[in-house]
Amino acid sequence: MTINREKRISYAVLVTPAVLIYLLVVAFPTVFSVFLSFTNYNGGVIFGNSNIQLIGFDSYIWMFTEPVRSFYTALNNNLLIVAVSVFGQIPLGFILAYILSRKLITRGRGFFQTMIFLPNVISAIIIGVLFNAFIISPYSVFMEIKKLINPNAEFVLNTQPIIPVLFVILWMFTGFYMVIFLAHMQRIDPAIIEAAKVDGATEGRILTKIVLPVMTSEIVTCSILAISGSLKTFDLIYAMTAGGPAGQTRVLSLFMYEAAFRGAPNYPLANAISTVMVLISVILIIVTRQLGKIFSEKGD
Amino acid sequence: MKKILVLTLAALMVVTLVACASGGSGSNKKVELRVLHYIDMSSAGAAEELDVVWKAFDEAHPNITVNREDEFNDPFHDSVDAYAAAGTLPDVMYCWPSGRSTTLHTQKLLKDLGPLAARDNLSNNYSSIVLDPSQQAGGYMGMLAQGITSTNTFIANKEVLSAVGLTPAKTYSELVAQVPVLKAAGYETILMPNKDTWVMQSCLFSLVAGRFMGEGWEQDILSGARDFNDPDFVAALNFIKTMYDDGVLEQSSLAIDYGDGPGLFSTNKAAYYIDGDWRVGAFITDASTGVALITPDRQTNFEISVFPDIDVPGVKFNRSNSDIVGTGWGINAKLEGDKLEAAWTLVKWLVGKEVQTFRLRTGGISNPSWKGIDFNSLPLEPMQKELANLSSKYDKSTIVIDGPFADVVYTPINDGLQAMGIGTQTAADVAKLTQEALDNWKKTQ
C-alpha cells in the first residue's frame, strides 16, 4: 500500500462518520424542511401520505403578505439583535479585552474578567427569569425599591419593549467575545508592542495599527458567531417576554415556534420561516466574510 | 435463512391457532391497549389517580390489558406529533377538542365516536355540548370530553374588599367606583396575568365579545354575514380600552406571567382575579403535600362568579360566560372489532360518572360533562363548592374565540387587546387587522 493510498483511506475512515452524522442530523433535516415548506404537510404520516400536495410558494406569500406583519416585526427584532451583537457586543468585548490585555487597569483584572464573563455560565432562561423578578415585572425588586422611595410610583410598560431585551443581550454575551479576543491578543508578541512604544507610538496607534489588523480574522469569526446566534435567539426572549406584549418582542425563532407548536399547528408556515432564517443567516455570513476579506487585504 | 423462514412460519401458525381458540370464547378474549395519558405527576391527586382510575379499571376488566404511557405538557404533544408522523398513534389517547390536538381531528386520525355514543344512548347522561360534533376541530365527534370549561371566572377577594369597606361589585359601574378606594389603600382592582399570548382573548374578551355581539356571533363571522369591523365587535374592543382607561385593568397586567397569577392573588395584591375555571385547582389543597395557596378556612372569603354586568350602551345581554368543550379521550381511527370495543369501554370509564366525580373532588375538572353529579355529597373545599355553583350564575353561553377561529385569527385579537393597553392600537385598528387576518386565512382554506 502506497503512502498516498494509506493517507486517503485514513482520511476516509476518519472523516466519513462525521460527514454521515452531519448529513443525517443537519443537512437532511434542513433540505427536507425546505421541501416541506412547499407542501401542505401539517402533521400525520409523512411518507406514503396521499393527502400531501405541493402548494408552491403559498406559505411564503402568506408570510410576506399577512396583514398583521408578524414576520416583519420578528425580522426587525432579529436585525436589531444582530446590530446589538455585531456593533455592540463585539466592539465592547474588543475594548474590554484590549484594556485587560494591555494591563491598562492595574488592580482587580481577574475580578473584572470573571464578572464580565459570568453571565455566559448562567442559562439564558435563568437570566430571563431573574431579570423579570428583579427589574422588569410589576412586582420586581426594582419596583419595590421605587415604591419605598416614592409610594405613588406606578409600573409603566416600556412602549418599546424590545429595548430591555437588547440591553440584557448586550450584557449577557459581551463577556464571551471579550474572552475570545483576550486569548488572541495575549498571543501577540509583546516585543512588537514594546518596539512600537519605543518608536513613540501612542496607545491609539498601537490599537489601530498593530492589534486591530492582527485580529481581523477573529473579528470576522466572532461576527459570524454573533449573527448566527442572534438569528436563533429564542430562550432568553421566551423567558423574558414570551414575544409580548402585543407581539412586539417576537423574533423569527419564536414566530416559527408559535406557528408549529402553539394552537393548531401550521407546519408549512413554520418550515417557510425556518427556510427564510437559514437564507438570511447565509447572506449575512457571506457579507461578513467578504467584509473581513476586504479589511484583511487592506491590513496587509 | 431457510431455517429462519420455517421457524417464523411455524411460530405464526401457533399464534394463529391460539388466537382462533381464544376467539371462540367470545368476551374472554384478551385485548391489549396502548394508551397515551396526559398527567402532571406533581399535581394534586396524581398519585391517587393511578389507583382510583387505572387500577380500578384493570381489576374490573381482566380481559383488557392497558399499557399506559404518562406524559405531561410539551413532551406529551411532541409524542403525539411523533406517533402521528410515524403512523403509530396509540389506541386510546388524551386530547383536546381543538388547539394542539387539531391535527388529530382534521386529519381524521381519531375515530368518529358519534355512532358509538348514539348506540349507547350517551345523550341521557352527558351534556349536549360534548356530543355536538361542531364543537370539535374536525367537525365530527373525535373525542368524548370529561368536562366543560368556562374560560371566565371572576373571583372576588372579600378579605381585601372588607378591609376597605367594599362588597363585591355586581356591575361594571360599581367596579369603576371601587378603583380609587382600592388604589388609595394600595390594592389593585383586577389582577389578571395577561402576559401570555392567549389569556386576554380566552379569559376575558370571549365573554365581552359574546355580550356585545350576541349568541352565535362566530357563525355570522365565519359565514360572512357579519365581519370583525361590525360596530358591535368594535364596541366590545372599545370596552377593553375603557377598562384600561378606567384603571379597572392595569397596564402592568401585561407584564405578569400566567404562572404568577394565583400566587399574587392569594397574597391579597388585588380585590378581584380573572382566569379560567381550571385555575381554581391552583388555590385548593394539594392532597400530596397538604398545602394550599388559599387555606380552606380562608376560602370562604372568596366569591366565584362571572364578570359583572356590563352596564354600558351596546351590550345585548349580561349574566353570560364563554364556554368550550374540555379535554377528553379519543380512539385511534384504525381500530376495529374487539379492540375498538375495548377502547370504547376504557373511554367510557375514563369519562364516566365515577372518574368525573373523583376528578371533581381532586380539582382535576370543575364542570363535569356527566349530568347529575351531586356536588353536595362530595368533600369539596369552599372554593370548589363556589365553582360548582358557577353555572347557576349565568344563563347564556357564548364561544371561546380560540375554539372556532384559527390561531392566525385569534392571535391578532390577543395582540390587539395588549396593544390597546400600551396605546399603540385603537379598537378600530384591531378590528380591521383581525378581519384582514380572517380574509387571508379563508384564502388558504
Which residue ranges form the domains of chain A, and what is each CATH number?
A: 69-125+157-299 (1.10.3720.10)
pLDDT in tens, B2-41: 555 444 544 444 343 334 333 333 456 799 999 999 987 7
- Asked if domains B31-145+327-368 and B150-324+384-444 share a fold, the reply is yes
AA identity, residue B170: K
> Which of B197, B260, B269, B334 is the best substitution to test chain A (most A C-beta atoms within 10 A)?
B197
* Residue range B150-324+384-444, CATH number: 3.40.190.10
pLDDT of the residue at B44: 61
Say what the ipTM of the complex is.
0.76
| Beta carbons of B275 and B261 less than 8 angstroms apart | yes
* pLDDT average, residue stretch B213-223: 93
- Residue B91 sits at φ, ψ, to 5 deg, of -70, -40
Cell numbers standing for residue B42:
406533581
Say yes or no for a CB contact (<8 Å) between B257 and A157.
no
Say yes or no for a CB contact (<8 Å) between B437 and A68.
yes
What element of type H or E holds B33? strand B31-38
* pLDDT average, residue stretch B336-340: 95
- pLDDT > 80? residue B46: no
What is the reported pTM?
0.80
Interface of A with B (CB under 8 A): 42-46, 51, 58, 62, 65-68, 70, 132, 136-139, 154-157, 159, 241-248, 258, 261-266
* pLDDT average, residue stretch A116-144: 89
- pLDDT > 60? residue A5: yes
Domain ranges in chain B? 31-145+327-368, 150-324+384-444
Does the domain formed by B31-145+327-368 have CATH 3.40.190.10?
A: yes
Where do we find the cell 407546519? A267
In DSSP terms, B320 is beta-bridged to B396
> Which of B228, B229, B407, B409 is the best substitution to test chain A (most A C-beta atoms within 10 A)?
B407
pLDDT in tens, A33-82: 999 999 988 877 778 778 788 999 999 998 998 887 889 999 999 999 99
Taking the C-alpha atoms of residue B58 and residue B51, their distance in angstroms, rounded to an integer, is 10
pLDDT in tens, B149-190: 899 999 999 999 999 999 999 999 999 999 999 999 989 999
Burial track B114-143 (b if 16+ CB lie within 10 A, e otherwise): eebbeeeebeeebbebbbeeebbbbeebbb
pLDDT in tens, B128-145: 889 989 889 888 999 999
Taking the C-alpha atoms of residue B342 and residue B268, their distance in angstroms, rounded to an integer, is 49
pLDDT of the residue at B294: 94
Residues 6+ apart with CB under 8 A from B175: B169, B189, B190, B248, B272, B308
Taking the C-alpha atoms of residue A146 and residue A140, their distance in angstroms, rounded to an integer, is 10
Peptide bond into A245 cis (omega under 30): yes
pLDDT of the residue at B1: 46
- pLDDT > 60? residue A169: yes
DSSP structure class, residue B156: E
